[in-house]
Amino acid sequence: MIKNFDEMQKLSKDNVDATMKSFASMSKATQTIAAEVADYSKKSFEDSTKVLEKLFGAKSFEKAIEIQTDYAKTAYEGFVAQATKMGEMYADLAKETYKPYEGFVGKATPAK
């Protein structure tokens, strides 16, 4: 009985340790993602402001269309690159959050 109690107590401690490591990884990754979103938003706002200034300074309708087309192309390429980067960051978040629990998979499998 005492042996089982000690094993149960150790398993509980291991679970708590794994959960704390998982939360720490998740917290760090979430902060990184939030900072990345803030940086992208700031850059996007600055870029759109510059384009708006260029549009106000355009001397012809054709030049305004050219400015808008260039901006749309650049903004789309930037968005796709950012979306790819964010997808990778979320995948890394999932991997890092799960990592502390990997050792439990082998322990949870019943012996035959």
**Domain residue limits, the chain:** 2-101
pTM: 0.71
Let me know: does 40 contact 56? Beta carbons within 8 Å. no
pLDDT in tens, 32-43: 999 999 999 999
Give the separation between CA 110 and CA 62, rounded to whole angstroms: 73
- Confidence check: pLDDT of 83 > 60: yes
Q: pLDDT by residue (tens digit) across 23-80?
A: 888 888 899 999 999 999 999 999 999 999 999 999 999 999 999 999 999 999 999 9
Residue 101 host element (H or E): none
